[in-house]
């Protein structure tokens, strides 16, 4: 397992500190059939589920971290504890030097939170009225409120939506209004849990652009959970991968790509494929994945064989018209790491 969590970065490494964090949920056991379920209503039998299992990391000011993992791995539970919504079973959290659960309001003033499946806005009042309520709640001075409102209305393209109640907005419009709401009080840290879920590519792009700008221009710290790896790749320099409530990888995104990307793919367009219907002679670390009369696709292990060597072998037998080399994307890499981790449990 690779970790940078406890290394000192050259940023303020103390903004978020998570130490040996555990969250257990107590829930009623599934009784299996209706008769047992009815009996269980009177004599409930409980089981304990460890959703977060001894997680530690440190996040510095201005970092943008992708917090990823399969369904049910404990991402939202972690985010809720960081926000102070849930209390840890064991372990500790310090955000800007305070314990979020103990000083909820003080913590709330410095953070912004967006849960993709839950709205921050009031359902039946115009969006601008929800924003005005936030202004009062977070005690945002009028000048700053106006400045931020103008800025985020422009960035998120929500000018025409401000007078409309949330219930009349589309999913993408709602999410853009929610993202703007999360930024109105100049939060130092923003937690985004599935911020682009169910959105079209244009809405996704404007949300990513807003996050990227806030991270670059304001040095806002971001923790983003998403199953959309384009979110993670475009926004985050660091990735924390969790599986079954434990940290499996905590590292720089580019390093993860290099370390776990041993397999590459090389595609040749050729005048005539010499191995078509005949099979390819064995070459260590190379396997053929697709072959047509005028093209050959091979996958190879970069630690066993070089692309140059493969090109030399192919060019001895036919004329190469074009060649393209590609690595696996981060999503495929993460899938592989999780598969291996599941086997090792």
Ligand X SMILES: Nc1ncnc2c1ncn2[C@@H]1O[C@H](COP(=O)(O)OP(=O)(O)OP(=O)(O)O)[C@@H](O)[C@H]1O
Positions touching ligand X (CB under 6 A) are 25, 27, 49, 51, 69, 71-77
Q: Which is nearer to ligand X, 25 or 138 (CB)?
A: 25
Q: Which is nearer to ligand X, 49 or 258 (CB)?
A: 49
Smallest gap, in angstroms, from Cβ of residue 64 to ligand X?
Answer: 19
Pairing of strands 295-301, 189-193: unpaired
| Start-to-end C-alpha separation, the chain | 14
Rounded CA separation 69/75 (Å): 7
Residue 163 DSSP one-character state = T
Q: Which is nearer to ligand X, 156 or 236 (CB)?
A: 236
SS3 call for 94 = strand
CB contact at 8 A, 150 and 181: no
C-alpha distance from residue 30 to each of 24, 38, 245, 327 (Å): 17, 11, 21, 44
Q: Which is nearer to ligand X, 194 or 291 (CB)?
A: 194
Residue 3 DSSP one-character state = B
Smallest gap, in angstroms, from Cβ of residue 319 to ligand X?
Answer: 49
Rounded CA separation 296/318 (Å): 11
Smallest gap, in angstroms, from Cβ of residue 49 to ligand X?
Answer: 5
Smallest gap, in angstroms, from Cβ of residue 301 to ligand X?
Answer: 32
Q: Which is nearer to ligand X, 25 or 122 (CB)?
A: 25
Could you count the other beta carbons within 10 Å of the beta carbon of residue 257?
Answer: 17
Smallest gap, in angstroms, from Cβ of residue 7 to ligand X?
Answer: 25
What radius of gyration, in Å, describes the C-alpha atoms of the chain? Answer: 25
Q: Which is nearer to ligand X, 197 or 323 (CB)?
A: 197
Q: Which is nearer to ligand X, 125 or 197 (CB)?
A: 197
Smallest gap, in angstroms, from Cβ of residue 298 to ligand X?
Answer: 35
Q: Which residue has the tokens 């050259």?
A: 10
Q: Which residue has the tokens 């806002």?
A: 220
Q: Which helix (H) or strand (E) holds 270?
A: strand 263-270
Smallest gap, in angstroms, from Cβ of residue 86 to ligand X?
Answer: 8
Tokens at 153, concatenated: 């209305």
């Amino acid at each position: 397992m690779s970790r940078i969590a406890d290394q000192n970065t050259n940023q303020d490494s103390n903004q978020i500190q998570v130490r040996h964090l555990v969250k257990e949920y107590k829930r009623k056991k599934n009784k299996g059939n209706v008769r047992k379920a009815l009996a269980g209503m009177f004599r409930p039998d409980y089981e304990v589920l460890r959703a977060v299992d001894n997680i530690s990391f440190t996040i510095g000011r201005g970092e943008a971290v992708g917090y990823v993992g399969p369904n049910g791995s404990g991402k939202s539970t972690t985010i809720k504890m960081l926000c102070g919504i849930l209390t840890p079973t064991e372990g500790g959290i310090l955000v800007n030097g305070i314990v979020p659960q103990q000083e909820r309001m003080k913590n709330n003033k410095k953070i912004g939170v967006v849960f993709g499946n839950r709205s921050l806005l009031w359902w039946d009042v115009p969006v601008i009225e929800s924003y005005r309520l936030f202004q009062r709640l977070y005690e945002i001075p009028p000048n700053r409120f106006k400045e931020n409102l103008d800025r985020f209305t422009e960035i998120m393209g929500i000018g025409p939506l401000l007078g409309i109640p949330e219930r009349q907005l589309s999913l993408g419009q709602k999410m853009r209004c929610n993202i703007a709401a999360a930024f109105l009080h100049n939060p130092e840290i923003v937690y985004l849990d599935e911020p682009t879920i169910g959105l079209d590519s244009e809405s996704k792009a404007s949300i990513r652009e807003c996050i990227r700008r806030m991270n670059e221009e304001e040095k806002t710290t971001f923790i983003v959970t998403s199953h959309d790896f384009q979110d993670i790749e475009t926004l985050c320099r660091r990735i924390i991968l969790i599986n079954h409530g434990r940290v499996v990888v905590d590292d720089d995104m580019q390093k993860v790509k290099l370390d776990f990307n041993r397999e590459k793919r090389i595609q040749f367009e050729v005048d005539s494929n010499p191995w078509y219907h005949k099979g390819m002679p064995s070459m260590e670390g190379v396997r053929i994945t697709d072959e047509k009369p005028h093209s050959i696709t091979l996958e190879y292990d970069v630690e066993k064989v070089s692309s140059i060597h493969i090109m030399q072998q192919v060019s001895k037998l036919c004329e190469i018209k074009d060649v393209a080399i590609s690595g696996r994307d981060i999503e495929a890499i993460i899938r592989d790491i999780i598969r291996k981790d599941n086997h090792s449990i």
